[in-house]
Each structure stands twice: as structure tokens, then as C-alpha cells.
């Protein structure tokens, strides 16, 4: 049996009904057998009730996922407060080992090391891919990824997205088996006779002069070019705002220059979005971290570039396995690339075109993230404003093809 | 110096970029605002476009609620309308999935609050309006979730909006209630706020106009229906009265005609009676002398004129007797006689004449259970004999005259219809109306005086019966005599037979 996947969605406002509906439908499409459930839901739900209903319907199937700003399926993106999507995967080719590490804010490095240890522990699984769903508003995902990659026993594809809430930046949720966690990273190690391909792109345009981070501590950036980070950022905002709004932080961000990057479709900047402001010090907090001395440039989102680079990602993914059909596609898309920029046309502008390239009938699951995790030149980075696509293929198919 | 210029130019460009970014940001904001307004406009247009063909206030309300639910990010929307019993019913309701009601509507006896404008309520600040408070509590109960441990989770929503609906007359049409259960909304969803009141009021106005149209149309239809029903009733009354009038007029005409006829006949019979008496004596004298002279003379020269005098005197005498009979109004001497026997006696009377003419005369196949008639047998037998005589006269050699009898009910009275049917030449249509007139005859001079059918009619009518004649030239003639079973107690109403019906003269 090859790897099979089925996706189901519910927008029922009642958490229990929604969880039961989505889980039952996804499992029914696989004749009741599943080896992994990937679950993404918006944060309007009573999260424990949602997970309880899913596990009640699905039994003890390993489960990983998180809350998102929105959810994505072949039907498009849904950024309402009540929507849950589930992908059930059944496979004799792949192995699925779910995990979760808590206290991300307190020790992001430790979390990365713990995940690496888990991969080592599961060495016999021949891990192919790590899917990571960290809390999107606590901790430092860059530190997490750095520590993880330093201690991984062997190279493995890394992709994922950070959990979101309703753009309130108050509390996000990570799902591990039957548990609902916060300030944690949930994930799954996919191993076995499968391959994955990933692609990432953003849609931002550098503006203004190149600047330097002159004082920072982890994700907390105090000064840029010797001025408070907030005063630099505020120069591009209308009026004299006293706080950082979500709308402003998705409109503008900083691009961190990666000197080693070649000039492919991604470009030389990895996006860094400020999530919060310390009004007293004028410091901005970036979950992706901006080390002191980083060369940065302000960037603005560009709808045309978002569409164009997303299509390039889908085509790049397809080009790596010409003529092959993935068993499933995972899709992690920044919350700032959906309705907030495309309004009611978010699906038709930014989601459907990629699905048309890779296949409108593929099992397709994703969510709108607070940050994305994807590799560039073999190294996993924490990104903002990007779309990450992951396609999974059975190895036999590769040989047959 | 050149570096300073470049720095300045760079700073100017940076400022321009900042300005452009701010402008772009404003444009994004404007786009979202326009999008929201377009959604609202679309909702209003959808209702305006589709409400007209729904033709049902509840369906219009449902359509509007669905549009409101779509645009305003609410969980529950319902329309409540007053019932005849001063209570309230849910006319339409729509919810987000998972927000459906769990109970039947418990506000049947709750009166609608009298609001003048849409009202936004947060934390259930109903302003102390007892009607509004009662209504909102009824709605809470309607949607209250069932708890597995029993009881219900009845909690007010985070925010709700109540909008009144009125008719043009000012009468209360209902209220719309929009509810957002809790404050969890995504970045792209908006909580109900004061800013939504104008749009809801606009939608309410739209609903009011559409429902008003439907109700006006219904009222117009009802009025038109009532009008049609009244017109139909009056038309029926008129038709009935016209019918009654026509019957009355016909009866008046018939009665008048009968009166005139009776008067004419009475006058004529008086004249005939008087004249007959006056003629009877001289004719008797003439006849007596003529017969005396014939007995006493043997002169051939005298006998021939005397015989002529005697023959003509006898003829005059017969005529006078006939006229006297016509003028007579003698009481009937009634006897019971079976119709078959009556007809057979008539056949016997006329058998010789029929044989002489070479005409077959017989009684047809009669029913065994024919009732006997109570009549003046002699009078009826004479009348039937007259009809047979006429029939024989009208029938050529080889033809036939048939007598029949059958039971027949006329105007609620049972009787027996006796008929004399011949196979003769028939009576011309122009003569049919006159055949019962005295002295009307189609026979050659000397063959009849035209009193036969007059005497028949007089005899039949004296029994409360009716006589008529039907004839088709070339297809013979049938004379029908209907007599009540018991002429002594006959109560026949006025005959509806054509008054101009006649018999073979």
C-alpha cells in the first residue's frame, strides 16, 4: 500500500461537533485506517474540547498540529474564527513519530536539542522530514532551529509553521496526540521509504537604505543605526502611532541579509516581522531573532510579487520531480499573505494558482502561520511573509518513474 | 561636496519611499473598507433583487437574515413577528453551523418590544424595557445549549442587535435579532458595533418595503376575491330573480290567454246555445212537416223535394244538437273503467268504419298494471271515438290506426295517457294551431262541421285532463289524451303543454 491521505474540514462553531465531523470524514475517506493525523484549527474554538472530540473519533492515532490564523485545503483558505482541517495519512511506506517539547520561551535552544535527541532516538526510522509547529508568539524559533540543526545526527528535511491565534498575539496552541499545549513545539518525524521536496518564497520588496542592528538581545531589537527600533519602523507608518498594530506589522517588515545566498527566486533577504513593541524602551520583538550587527533593510509586501514568487515555488517543486504526482502536499502560508492583503480574493489570488500547478485533486492541507520554517541551501530558517510547500512522495514511485 | 549632495538626494528618496509606503498602506485600508461596503451593498442588492419573487414575508425575512449573517459575522439571526394572540413567533432563523437552537420557541406569549430604531446591546443592557428583556430571555432559552449533566447553559451573547420592523401604517411588523455568542473573532471578522446600526436599519427598511409589497398585494388579492365573490352572489341573485320573473310573466301570459280563450268560448257557447235553442224548434217543425208530407203523399214529384227537405232538416238538427252539447255544462257521471277496456270499446265502435276504409284499427300492447280510470265513460269514449274517426278519415286504405295507453305523471299527478296514432298524411304545420277552434275543418263541405275536436277538448278538460296533437306531414298524426286516474279528485295544476297544441280536425 502506498501512502494515502485524505483531508476533511468543518466550520461548525461547536468545538466538539467540529472535531468529530472533521475527524470522522477524514478517517472515513481512508476506510477508517490512519497512521497520522495532522490537525490545524483556528483559535476561536475551545481547543481542549476540539482535541477531545478528534481523539474520541479517531482513537489513539498519533496526532500533530497547531492553531493557526487560518486553515488551508483545496477549497482555499479560511481565516474565520471557527474552522478546523484534518489530514489523515495511512501508509505502509512511511513512519510517523509525533513529539512535543514544552517551555519554548524559557529554553528555545533546549527545545531544539530535545527534538534532535528524539531524532537520534528514532535513528532506525531513517527520518526523512521533520515537521515543526512551534508556538508563534513565544520563544525564539531561530535559536530553536540553530540548536536542532547543530545536533541532528543526519540531514533531514525541516519544514513547518508557527502557531497563531486570532491575530491577538496572546496565546497559541500546539497539538500532540490528545494534548493541547501552549509555549511548546509540536512536531512529527516522518521516516521510511518516502521523500519530501520543499519550496519557499516570499513576496516582499526591500525599500530604503541598508541598515544595521546596533543593539539586540536574541529576538529583542533595541536599536537600529543607533536609534530605537520603534522610531525607525514608525517612520514608515501614518500619523504618530503609540503601539504596533498587526496590520502595520504585516505591511512592513525587515529583511535580514544572508550574505551566502545566491540570487534565486527567494532573494538574499530572509524576512523578519516585529510581533510586539516594548513601548518603554522602543524595542521591537522578532520571533525570528535579529542578531546585533545584522545588515537589514525595510521591506514592504508586494501583492504581485507574492503571487509571482508563490507560482515560482510551485513550479520549482514540480520541476524537481517532473511527471510525478505527490501523495500529499502541506502548505504553510504567512497570516500576512491571506485576506489581510487580498481580501475576499485571497484564495483565488494566492492559493488556487499553486494548486493548479501541482494538482487540484491532491490531498492538500495547511494553515496560515505566524512564521514559517523552511530550508534554504540545506539550512532551515525561520521566515516571515513566506509560503512553504512540502510535497511527499513514496520512494517506490520514484524508482518506478 | 558631491557626497553631501548624494546624501541629501538619498535622504529625499528615502522620504519619498516612506510617503509612498504610507500611501500604499492607506490604499490597502481603503480597499478593505470598499470591500466591506461592497459586501453590504451586495447583501442589500441580493435581498432587493430576490425578495420580489418570493411573495412570502417569512421567506423574505429568511433571505435578509442569511444576507445579514454573511456580512456581519454574527452567529445567530432571527426574525420574530407578532401572532394574532399578541404573542411572538419565529418567522425566520438562520445560524452559523453549531449555533442552532436546542429548544422549541418558548416566547409564544411574549409581546414584541416597541422599538423605534435598531439597538445594540452588550452585556444585556436592555435599558429596563420589560418587553425587550422578556424577549431576549426567551431567545436565550431558545438557543440554550443542553448540558450532559442536565439543565441548560443559558447565557446571554457577547453582543446582540435588535432592529424593529414596521409597516407603513406604523403597525408592528416584527423585530430582527442578531447575536454574536462570544468575543472570539478572527482578525478579519468584526464584532457587531454601533457602526453596523445604519446598515442594519437600511436592511430593515429594505425588508419593510418588500414585506409591505407582499402584504399589500395579498390584501389587494383578498379584496379582489371578496369583490368577485360579492359580484357572483349578486349575479346569481339577479339570475334567480330574472328566472322567477320569467316564470311569473309566462304564467301571467298563460293565465291571460286562458282567460281570453275562456271568455271567447263562453261568449260563443252562450251565443251558440241561444241560437241552437232558437233553431231547434223551427227545424223540428220543418222536419215534422216534411216527414208527415212524405208519409202522406205518393207523388214522386213531391217526394223528391220533400226528401231533400227532410235530409237537410235532419242535418240541421244534428248540427244543432252538437252545438247544444258544446254549450252544455253537464255534471259528469263518473265510473271506473280499465283503460284497455275503454280502448277496446272504442275500437269496437269504429271497427265497421275502419273495415269499410280498409284501415287496420287495433289496440297496441298495453301494460298489465295500468290503473283504472274514474271518468265519465260515455264522454271519454265519445271523445276517443271522435279522435279515431278523424284518424280513419286521414288514413289511406292499407294504413293503420293504433290506440295505446300508458301511465304518465304530469305536474305531480299520476294519470293515463291514451293515444290515437295514424299513419296518414299528417296535418300541415300551419293548421296545427287552429285545430281545436270550433268550426275549423279541413274536410270537404258536408263531411264535417269542425266541432269534433272542440268537443273532445271540452270533454277531456272537463275531467281535468289535457289533449294535444302532434303531427308531422308525411309521418302521420298522434293525438294524446291524458286523464288523471281519478277525475273526481283531480288536482292537476296548470298544464305546461303548449297552449296551441291541437288535434286532427
Dist. CA A44–CA A290, nearest whole Å? 31
Please judge whether B186 and A42 are an interchain contact, meaning their C-beta atoms are less than 8 angstroms apart: yes
Q: pLDDT grade, residue B329 (50/70/90)? A: low
Nearest-by-Cβ selection for B188 from A17, A238, A339 = A339
Looking at residue B147, its pLDDT comes to 58
Dist. CA B410–CA A361, nearest whole Å? 91
Please judge whether B181 and A13 are an interchain contact, meaning their C-beta atoms are less than 8 angstroms apart: yes
Q: pLDDT grade, residue B330 (50/70/90)? A: low
Coil vs helix vs strand at B449:
coil
> Tell me: the pLDDT tens digits for B226-259?
999 999 999 999 999 999 999 888 888 888 887 8
* Other CB atoms within 10 A of residue B121 CB: 19
Cα atoms in the Cβ-side hemisphere of radius 13 Å centred on A396: 9
Please list every residue in chain A whose beta carbon sits closer than 8 Å to the beta carbon of residue B29: 247
Q: pLDDT grade, residue B474 (50/70/90)? A: confident
Q: What percent of chain B has pLDDT over 90?
A: 36
Please list every residue in chain A whose beta carbon sits closer than 8 Å to the beta carbon of residue B97: 10-14, 17
Q: Cell 442536565 belongs to which residue?
A: B150
Averaged over B263-289, what is the pLDDT?
A: 81
Looking at residue B151, its pLDDT comes to 47
Q: Is the pLDDT of residue A28 over 90?
A: yes
Please judge whether B185 and A81 are an interchain contact, meaning their C-beta atoms are less than 8 angstroms apart: yes
Q: Which of B186, B190, B191 to mutate to test the interface with A (most CBs of A within 10 A)?
A: B186
Q: Is the pLDDT of residue B502 over 50?
A: no
Looking at residue B334, its pLDDT comes to 83
**Strands (DSSP E) found in A49-110:** 63-68, 70-73, 76-78, 84-90, 94-102
Looking at residue B146, its pLDDT comes to 67
Torsion angle of the four alpha carbons A387, A388, A394, A397, in this order, in degrees rounded to the nearest 10: 50
Could you tell me which of B477, B484, B433 has the C-alpha nearest to residue B461?
Answer: B484
Q: Is the pLDDT of residue A86 over 80?
A: yes
Q: Which of A208, A234, A253, A367 to mutate to test the interface with B (most CBs of B within 10 A)?
A: A208
Query: Of residues B53 and A85, which shows the higher confidence score?
Result: A85
Dist. CA B387–CA B350, nearest whole Å? 11
Q: pLDDT grade, residue B495 (50/70/90)? A: very low
> Tell me: the pLDDT tens digits for B195-209?
999 999 999 999 999
Looking at residue B28, its pLDDT comes to 85
Looking at residue B505, its pLDDT comes to 43
Looking at residue B487, its pLDDT comes to 64
CA B314 → CA B126, B303, B317, B319, distances in Å? 125, 16, 5, 8
Nearest CA in chain B to A70: B186
Q: Which residues contact A45 (CB under 8 A, 6 or more apart)?
A: A15, A18, A82, A84
Cα atoms in the Cβ-side hemisphere of radius 13 Å centred on B146: 6
Query: Of residues B504 and B265, which shows the higher confidence score?
Result: B265
pTM: 0.69
CB-CB contact of A199 with A389 (8 Å): yes
Please list every residue in chain B whose beta carbon sits closer than 8 Å to the beta carbon of residue A248: 25
Dist. CA B283–CA B285, nearest whole Å? 5
Looking at residue B490, its pLDDT comes to 45
Looking at residue A44, its pLDDT comes to 93
Nearest-by-Cβ selection for B187 from A14, A235, A246 = A246
Could you tell me which of A340, A308, A305 has the C-alpha nearest to residue A77?
Answer: A340
Looking at residue A22, its pLDDT comes to 98
Q: Parallel, antiparallel, or unpaired for β B360-363 and B400-410? A: parallel
What's chain A's average pLDDT? 92
Q: Which residues contact A398 (CB under 8 A, 6 or more apart)?
A: A195, A321, A324
B→A interface, C-beta within 8 Å: 10, 14, 17-18, 21-22, 24-26, 28-29, 31-32, 35, 39, 75, 96-99, 181, 184-189
Cell of A193: 521509504
What's chain B's average pLDDT? 85
**Sequence-distant contacts of B193-199: CB under 8 A, at least 24 apart:** B193/B120, B193/B159, B194/B120, B196/B72, B196/B120, B196/B161, B197/B117, B197/B118, B197/B120, B197/B161, B199/B40, B199/B71, B199/B72
Nearest-by-Cβ selection for B97 from A12, A208, A300 = A12
CB-CB contact of A365 with A7 (8 Å): yes
Cell of A216: 539586540
> Tell me: the pLDDT tens digits for A251-282?
899 999 887 766 566 888 899 999 889 999 99
Please judge whether A344 and B39 are an interchain contact, meaning their C-beta atoms are less than 8 angstroms apart: yes
> Tell me: the pLDDT tens digits for A180-238?
999 999 999 999 999 999 999 988 989 988 999 999 998 899 999 999 999 999 999 98
Nearest-by-Cβ selection for B22 from A17, A208, A238 = A238
Q: Report the complex ipTM.
A: 0.85
Q: What percent of chain B has pLDDT over 70?
A: 91
CB-CB contact of A153 with A182 (8 Å): no
Q: Could you say which DSSP state residue B489 is in?
A: G
Please list every residue in chain B whose beta carbon sits closer than 8 Å to the beta carbon of residue A344: 35, 39
Please list every residue in chain A whose beta carbon sits closer than 8 Å to the beta carbon of residue B10: 209
Please judge whether B186 and A81 are an interchain contact, meaning their C-beta atoms are less than 8 angstroms apart: yes
Q: pLDDT grade, residue B62 (50/70/90)? A: very high
Looking at residue A5, its pLDDT comes to 98
Distance (Å) from the alpha carbon of B189 to chain A's nearest alpha carbon: 7
3-state SS of B71-117 is HHCCCEEEEEEECCCCCEEEEEEEECCCCCCCCCCCCCCCCCCCCCC
Query: Of residues A345 and A88, which shows the higher confidence score?
Result: A88
Looking at residue A375, its pLDDT comes to 93
Cell of B136: 431576549
Distance (Å) from the alpha carbon of A342 to chain B's nearest alpha carbon: 9
Which backbone phi and psi does A353 adopt, to 5 degrees? -55, -40
Please list every residue in chain A whose beta carbon sits closer than 8 Å to the beta carbon of residue B99: 13-14
Looking at residue A165, its pLDDT comes to 92
Q: Which of B41-55, B88-102, B106-120, B306-320 has the lowest mean pLDDT?
A: B306-320
Distance (Å) from the alpha carbon of B184 to chain A's nearest alpha carbon: 5
Please judge whether A341 and B188 are an interchain contact, meaning their C-beta atoms are less than 8 angstroms apart: no
Query: Of residues B208 and B486, which shows the higher confidence score?
Result: B208
Q: Cell 545526527 belongs to which residue?
A: A153
Please judge whether A166 and B10 are an interchain contact, meaning their C-beta atoms are less than 8 angstroms apart: no
Looking at residue A309, its pLDDT comes to 86
Please judge whether B185 and A339 are an interchain contact, meaning their C-beta atoms are less than 8 angstroms apart: no
Please list every residue in chain A whose beta carbon sits closer than 8 Å to the beta carbon of residue B32: 343
Please judge whether B187 and A340 are an interchain contact, meaning their C-beta atoms are less than 8 angstroms apart: yes
Distance (Å) from the alpha carbon of A300 to chain B's nearest alpha carbon: 8
A→B interface, C-beta within 8 Å: 10-14, 17-18, 42-44, 69-70, 79-82, 166-167, 207-209, 235-238, 246-248, 251-252, 300, 335, 339-341, 343-344
Q: Is the pLDDT of residue B177 over 70?
A: yes
Which backbone phi and psi does B458 adopt, to 5 degrees? -60, -40
Q: Which of A346-350, A373-377, B162-166, B368-372 has the lowest mean pLDDT?
A: B368-372
Q: pLDDT grade, residue A143 (50/70/90)? A: very high
Looking at residue B447, its pLDDT comes to 66
Looking at residue B431, its pLDDT comes to 84
| DSSP-assigned letters across all residues of A258-274 | -TT--SSTT-SEEEE--
Q: Is the pLDDT of residue B493 over 80?
A: no
Nearest-by-Cβ selection for B187 from A13, A14, A167 = A167
Averaged over B469-488, what is the pLDDT?
A: 86
Q: pLDDT grade, residue A90 (50/70/90)? A: very high
Q: Parallel, antiparallel, or unpaired for β B373-375 and B466-471? A: unpaired
Q: Is the pLDDT of residue B126 over 90?
A: no
Nearest-by-Cβ selection for B25 from A79, A235, A238 = A238
Amino acid at each position: 500500500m502506498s501512502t494515502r491521505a485524505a483531508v476533511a474540514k468543518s466550520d461548525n462553531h461547536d468545538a466538539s461537533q467540529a472535531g468529530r465531523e472533521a475527524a470522522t470524514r477524514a478517517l472515513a475517506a481512508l476506510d477508517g485506517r490512519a497512521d497520522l493525523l495532522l490537525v490545524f484549527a483556528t483559535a476561536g474554538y475551545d481547543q481542549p474540547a476540539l482535541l477531545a472530540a478528534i481523539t474520541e473519533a479517531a482513537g489513539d492515532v498519533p496526532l500533530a498540529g497547531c492553531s493557526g490564523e487560518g486553515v488551508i485545503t483545496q477549497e482555499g483558505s479560511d481565516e474565520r474564527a471557527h474552522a478546523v482541517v484534518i489530514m489523515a495519512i495511512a501508509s505502509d511506506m512511511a513512519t510517523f513519530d509525533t513529539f512535543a517539547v514544552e517551555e519554548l520561551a524559557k529554553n528555545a535552544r533546549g527545545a531544539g536539542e530535545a527534538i534532535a535527541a528524539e531524532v537520534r532516538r528514532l535513528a532506525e526510522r531513517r527520518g526523512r522530514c521533520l515537521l515543526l509547529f512551534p508556538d508563534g508568539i513565544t520563544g525564539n524559533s531561530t535559536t530553536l532551529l540553530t540548536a536542532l540543526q547543530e545536533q541532528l545526527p543526519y540531514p533531514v528535511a525541516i519544514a513547518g509553521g508557527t502557531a497563531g491565534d486570532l491575530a491577538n498575539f496572546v496565546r497559541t496552541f500546539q497539538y500532540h496526540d490528545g494534548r493541547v499545549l501552549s509555549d511548546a513545539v509540536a512536531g512529527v518525524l516522518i521516516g521510511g521509504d518516502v521523500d519530501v521536496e520543499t519550496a519557499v518564497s516570499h513576496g516582499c520588496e526591500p525599500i530604503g537604505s541598508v541598515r544595521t542592528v546596533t543593539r539586540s538581545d536574541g529576538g529583542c531589537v533595541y536599536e537600529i543605526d543607533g536609534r530605537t527600533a520603534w522610531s525607525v519602523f514608525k517612520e514608515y507608518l501614518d500619523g504618530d502611532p503609540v503601539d504596533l498594530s498587526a496590520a502595520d506589522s504585516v505591511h512592513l517588515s525587515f529583511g535580514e541579509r544572508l550574505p551566502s545566498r545566491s540570487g534565486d527566486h527567494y532573494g538574499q533577504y530572509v524576512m523578519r516581522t516585529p510581533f510586539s513593541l516594548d513601548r518603554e524602551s522602543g524595542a521591537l520583538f522578532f520571533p525570528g531573532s535579529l542578531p546585533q550587527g545584522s545588515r537589514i533593510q525595510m521591506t514592504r509586501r508586494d501583492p504581485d510579487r507574492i503571487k509571482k514568487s508563490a507560482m515560482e515555488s510551485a513550479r520549482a517543486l514540480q520541476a524537481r520531480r517532473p511527471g510525478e504526482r505527490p501523495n500529499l502536499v502541506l502548505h504553510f502560508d504567512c497570516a500576512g499573505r491571506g485576506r489581510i492583503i487580498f481580501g475576499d480574493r485571497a484564495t483565488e489570488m494566492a492559493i488556487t494558482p499553486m494548486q493548479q500547478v501541482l494538482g487540484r485533486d491532491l490531498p492538500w492541507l495547511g494553515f496560515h502561520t505566524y512564521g514559517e520554517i523552511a530550508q534554504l541551501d540545506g539550512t532551515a530558517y525561520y521566515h516571515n511573509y513566506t509560503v512553504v510547500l512540502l510535497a511527499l512522495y513514496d520512494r517506490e514511485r520514484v524508482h518506478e518513474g | 561636496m558631491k557626497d553631501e549632495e548624494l546624501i541629501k538626494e538619498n535622504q529625499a528618496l528615502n522620504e519619498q519611499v516612506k510617503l509612498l509606503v504610507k500611501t500604499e498602506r492607506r490604499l490597502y485600508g481603503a480597499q478593505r473598507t470598499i470591500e466591506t461596503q461592497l459586501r453590504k451593498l451586495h447583501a442589500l442588492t441580493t435581498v432587493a433583487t430576490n425578495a420580489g419573487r418570493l411573495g412570502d414575508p417569512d421567506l423574505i425575512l429568511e433571505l435578509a437574515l442569511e444576507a445579514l449573517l454573511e456580512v456581519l459575522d454574527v452567529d445567530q439571526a432571527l426574525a420574530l413577528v407578532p401572532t394574532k394572540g399578541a404573542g411572538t413567533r419565529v418567522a425566520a432563523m438562520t445560524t452559523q453551523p453549531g449555533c442552532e437552537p436546542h429548544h422549541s420557541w418558548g416566547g409564544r406569549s411574549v409581546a414584541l418590544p416597541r422599538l423605534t430604531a435598531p439597538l445594540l446591546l452588550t452585556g444585556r443592557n436592555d435599558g429596563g424595557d420589560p418587553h425587550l428583556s422578556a424577549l431576549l430571555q426567551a431567545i436565550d432559552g431558545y438557543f440554550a445549549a443542553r448540558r450532559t449533566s442536565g439543565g441548560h447553559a443559558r447565557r446571554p451573547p457577547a453582543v446582540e442587535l435588535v432592529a424593529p420592523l414596521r409597516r407603513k401604517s406604523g403597525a408592528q411588523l416584527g423585530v430582527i435579532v442578531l447575536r454574536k455568542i462570544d468575543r472570539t473573532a478572527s482578525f478579519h471578522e468584526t464584532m457587531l458595533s454601533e457602526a453596523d446600526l445604519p446598515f442594519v436599519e437600511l436592511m430593515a427598511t429594505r425588508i419593510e418595503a418588500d414585506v409591505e409589497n407582499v402584504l399589500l398585494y395579498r390584501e389587494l388579492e383578498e379584496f379582489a376575491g371578496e369583490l368577485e365573490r360579492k359580484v357572483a352572489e349578486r349575479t346569481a341573485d339577479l339570475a334567480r330573480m330574472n328566472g322567477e320573473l320569467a316564470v311569473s310573466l309566462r304564467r301571467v301570459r298563460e293565465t291571460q290567454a286562458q282567460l281570453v280563450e275562456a271568455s271567447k268560448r263562453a261568449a260563443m257557447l252562450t251565443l251558440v246555445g241561444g241560437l241552437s235553442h232558437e233553431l231547434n224548434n223551427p227545424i223540428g217543425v220543418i222536419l215534422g212537416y216534411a216527414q208527415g208530407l212524405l208519409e202522406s203523399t205518393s207523388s214522386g214529384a213531391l217526394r223528391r223535394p220533400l226528401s231533400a227537405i227532410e235530409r237537410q232538416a235532419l242535418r240541421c238538427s244534428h248540427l244543432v244538437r252538437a252545438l247544444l252539447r258544446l254549450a252544455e255544462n253537464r255534471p259528469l257521471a263518473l265510473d271506473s273503467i280499465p283503460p284497455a277496456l275503454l280502448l277496446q270499446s272504442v275500437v269496437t265502435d269504429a271497427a265497421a268504419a275502419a273495415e269499410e276504409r280498409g284501415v287496420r284499427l287495433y289496440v297496441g300492447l298495453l301494460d298489465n298494471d295500468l290503473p283504472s280510470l274514474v271518468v265519465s265513460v260515455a264522454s271519454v269514449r265519445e271523445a276517443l271515438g271522435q279522435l279515431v274517426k278523424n284518424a280513419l278519415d286521414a288514413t289511406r286504405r292499407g294504413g293503420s290506426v293504433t290506440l295505446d295507453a300508458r301511465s304518465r305523471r304530469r305536474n305531480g299527478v299520476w294519470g293515463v295517457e291514451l293515444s290515437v296514432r295514424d299513419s296518414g298524411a299528417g296535418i300541415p304545420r300551419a293548421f296545427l294551431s287552429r285545430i281545436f277552434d270550433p268550426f275549423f275543418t279541413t274536410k270537404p263541405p258536408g263531411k264535417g262541421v269542425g266541432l269534433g275536436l272542440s268537443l273532445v277538448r271540452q270533454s277531456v278538460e272537463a275531467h281535468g285532463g289535457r289533449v294535444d296533437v302532434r303531427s308531422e306531414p308525411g309521418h302521420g298524426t298522434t293525438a294524446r289524451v291524458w286523464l288523471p286516474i281519478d277525475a273526481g279528485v283531480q288536482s292537476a295544476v296548470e298544464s305546461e303543454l303548449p297552449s296551441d297544441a291541437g288535434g286532427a280536425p
